[in-house]
């Protein structure tokens, strides 16, 4: 790891004892930081995670947030589910304490090349495929982030010649400062998370933070078929690469091919990975065929747009043509409709 001495002796307060909070607490403690972790839930889940803390020196409180935990902190790390209205975040801002995302902490320590993937839909699949393509090319890749394996978990294992394929959500991007992936990928943009953001413009601004610190030595890959993104990335200083779906290749696969091209990985290597990829749980997962009817588990399709894309993939049993489906997918965003007027 790099910058390992930076956190030594620092007081870190972590809000949220789920996966990322637990991983970050153990990581910082191992680097010599004085770690305090607080979660307003006191239940079986948080108590179990408290038992997974590496040391009794990590101070932990459950069922409340105490202001004394925040007092004197050098920085605060918040879990993705914690928003700016949370009382500990309000306290931190009142006291001038920096509020950071877990991916910011891990980034400061990571010596590997980071490829960060965001978007309203398809992040997990693309993040996984990028990692598998890199591995197929004979290099070492870590697949992590909002995918369920926190960035902080894998950082101690990374080296300079390795790659990190990192799924990042808009929530995680809200509190980055220096986070600077070598390659950033924005897959698409559609209506989502309006329980967190006051409007679509605010949601888009959070997504755009993925390229906040990139410069001309970096790359931004974006969807050529998404009019909102085409305008949004115009201010990015990184080299821009655009992808779109083509015959036999989905938009998600096209995004992976764009990453592979930058990394000088042969297209045939990617196509072999695509053909062998069995998919991910709850994402167009084949269940059974009964009475000539195929049952597909696509429970991760929690938005209209992801449902439309599922129909595109299964278009043999839907009335949507691929072109009509893509058009519906793009124009479903209210922000896209407004900007087209």
For the segment 195-211, what is each residue's pLDDT rounded down to a tens digit?
A: 888 999 999 999 999 99
Of 306, 1, 3, 292, residue with least CA distance to 125: 306
Which residues 6+ apart lie within 8 Å of 58 measured at CB?
Answer: 25, 26, 29, 35, 36, 37
Q: Which helix (DSSP H) or strand (DSSP E) does residue 28 occupy?
A: helix 19-30
Other residues' Cβ atoms within 10 Å of the Cβ of residue 63: 12
Q: Which DSSP category does 303 fall into?
A: S
Which burial class, exposed, middle or buried, applies to 191 when counting CB atoms under 10 A from its CB (0-12, 13-18, 19+)? middle
Query: In the chain, what are the domain boundaries?
Result: 11-97, 104-276, 285-340
DSSP 164: E
Neighbours of 252 (CB within 10 A): 23
User: Rounded CA gap, 189 and 209, in Å?
Assistant: 14
Q: Looking at residue 277, what is its pLDDT?
A: 87
Determine the pLDDT at residue 334. Answer: 47
**Non-local CB neighbours of 30 within 8 Å, separated by 6+ positions:** 54, 156
- Judged against a pLDDT cut of 80, whether residue 331 lies above it is answered with no
Q: What is the pLDDT of residue 246?
A: 75
**Fold observed for domain 104-276:** 3.40.1190
The strand pairing partners of 252, in sequence order, are none
Tell me which residue of 160, 158, 157, 123 sits closest to 255, measured CA to CA: 123
What does DSSP say about strands 183-186 and 59-62: parallel, antiparallel, or unpaired?
A: unpaired
With tokens 């890959």, the residue in question is 221
Mean pLDDT of 272-278: 90
Q: For 11-97, which CATH class?
A: alpha beta
Radius of gyration of the chain from Cα atoms? 21
Instruction: Give yes or no for a contact between 165 and 131, defined as CB atoms under 8 angstroms apart.
Output: yes
**For residue 188, how many other CB atoms are within 10 A of its CB?**
26
The structure's pTM equals: 0.84
Per the listing, tokens 């790891």 go with: 1
Q: Model confidence over 188-246: pLDDT tens digits?
A: 998 777 788 899 999 999 999 999 999 999 999 999 988 899 899 999 999 999 998 77
The predicted pLDDT at position 237 comes to 97
pLDDT, tens digit (0-9, with 9 covering 90-100), for 42-98: 999 999 999 999 999 999 999 999 999 999 999 999 999 899 999 999 999 999 999
Q: Report the number of secondary-structure helices (H) and strands (E) in the chain.
A: 15, 13
**Residue 101's beta-bridge partner residues?**
78
Instruction: Output the average pLDDT for the chain.
Output: 88
Return the percentage of the chain with pLDDT > 70, whole number: 85
Coil, helix or strand at residue 240: strand
pLDDT, average across residues 14-28 = 97
At residue 281, the pLDDT reads: 62
Q: What angle do CA 22, 92, 66 make, to 5 degrees?
A: 65
């Amino acid at each position: 790891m790099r910058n390992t001495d930076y956190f030594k002796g620092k007081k870190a307060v972590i809000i949220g004892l789920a996966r990322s909070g637990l991983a970050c607490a153990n990581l910082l403690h191992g680097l010599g930081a004085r770690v305090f972790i607080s979660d307003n839930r006191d239940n079986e889940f948080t108590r179990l995670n408290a038992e997974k803390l590496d040391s009794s020196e990590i101070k932990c409180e459950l069922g409340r947030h105490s202001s004394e935990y925040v007092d004197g902190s050098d920085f605060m790390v918040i879990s993705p589910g914690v928003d700016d209205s949370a009382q500990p975040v309000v306290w931190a801002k009142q006291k001038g304490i920096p509020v950071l995302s877990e991916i910011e902490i891990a980034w400061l320590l990571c010596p590997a090349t980071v490829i960060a993937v965001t978007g309203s839909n398809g992040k997990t699949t693309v993040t996984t495929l990028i990692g598998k393509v890199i591995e197929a090319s004979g290099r070492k890749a870590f697949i992590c982030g909002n995918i369920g394996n926190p960035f902080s978990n894998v950082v101690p294992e990374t080296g300079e010649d390795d790659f990190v394929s990192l799924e990042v959500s808009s929530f995680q991007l809200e509190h980055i400062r220096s986070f600077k992936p070598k390659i950033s990928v924005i897959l698409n943009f559609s209506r989502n998370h309006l329980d967190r953001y006051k409007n679509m413009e605010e949601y888009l601004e959070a997504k755009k933070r993925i390229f906040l610190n990139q410069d001309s030595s970096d790359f931004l890959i974006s969807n050529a078929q998404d009019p909102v993104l085409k305008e949004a990335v115009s201010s990015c200083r990184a080299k821009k690469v655009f992808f779109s779906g083509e015959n036999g290749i989905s938009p998600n696969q096209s995004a992976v091919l764009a990453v592979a091209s930058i990394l000088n990985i042969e297209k045939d290597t990617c196509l072999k990975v695509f053909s062998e990829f069995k998919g991910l749980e709850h994402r167009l997962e084949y269940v059974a065929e009964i009475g000539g009817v195929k049952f597909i588990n696509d429970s991760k399709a929690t938005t209209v747009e992801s449902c439309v894309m599922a129909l595109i993939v299964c278009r043999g049993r839907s009335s949507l043509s691929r072109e009509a489906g893509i058009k519906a997918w793009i124009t479903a965003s209210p922000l896209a409709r407004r900007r087209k007027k």
